Amino acid sequence: MTIKYPNGQPFEPSRSTKNDIKRPNQGHRGMSLESELNQANQFYLQNGLANIHKKPTPIQIVNVEYPKRSAAKITEAYFRQASTTDYNGIYQGRYLDFDAKETANQTSFPLSNVHQHQIDHLDDIKRLGGLSFFIIRFTKRNETYLIDSSLLITYWKNRQENRKSVPYTEIVEQGILIPTGLRPSLPYLNAVDQLIAIH
């Protein structure tokens, strides 16, 4: 059967439509990891499951112009301090603190994506009894993992004499795969439940 547009032209499915039909796990396509986490956090908050938010980046405003009386335009600003991690909040009485990272690398997660102050911060959260972790997305594999911060902390501390990345195979073995969901599309608290169970 041929389907035609009102103008008589035949309808031909685009390549992306065909691929979407063949490959059901396309939930992450077209959305950044941060967008999905923000949506998930909104869903969790609205349903009374958790209170987790993206941390604002502290900036120092230096110069402001007022092109109109009702509008101000920031023309110069600086980061006040290095930010620690992306997200923090409360879930099941536990304090959560984590960072979200994306990489196009398929064989490893480069440690160049992480900074010393983030490692120090997450190490301190863990020492004080909170849950600290990373959510890492391998964009080309369309896979997202939750990994306990201790794995990255270990690799970070050994990076001078060891490799400068965490192997993908190690993340698969030590991490928790976050499968695609519907509402939310990234149900990462299921992985947090598994992390809590082993702590």
Known binding residue 84? Answer is: yes
Known binding residue 86? Answer is: yes
In sequence order, which residues have a C-beta less than 8 Å from that of residue 56 and are 6 or more positions away?
Answer: none
The band of 9, judged by pLDDT with boundaries at 50, 70 and 90, is low
- Look at residue 79 and tell me whether its pLDDT is greater than 70: no
Known binding residue 148? Answer is: no
CATH dotted code for 30-56+83-197: 3.40.1350.10
For the beta sheet containing 176-177, the strands, ordered from the edge strand earlier in sequence to the opposite edge, are 50-54, 87-91, 94-103, 131-138, 143-148, 176-177
Domain ranges of the chain: 30-56+83-197
Tell me the per-residue pLDDT of 34-63, one tens digit each, with 9 for 90 and over.
999 999 999 999 999 999 999 876 666 777
Tell me the per-residue pLDDT of 115-158, one tens digit each, with 9 for 90 and over.
888 999 999 999 999 999 999 999 999 999 999 999 999 999 88
Q: What per-residue confidence (pLDDT) applies to 31?
A: 64
Could you give the CA distance from residue 102 to residue 119 in angstroms, rounded to a whole number?
A: 17
Q: What per-residue confidence (pLDDT) applies to 66?
A: 79
Candidates 145, 100, 118, 130; CA nearest to 196 is: 130
Residue with tokens 């964009």: 139
Known binding residue 107? Answer is: no
Instruction: Give the global pTM.
Output: 0.74
What value, to the nearest 5°, has the Cα angle with vertex 196 and ends 193 and 199? 155
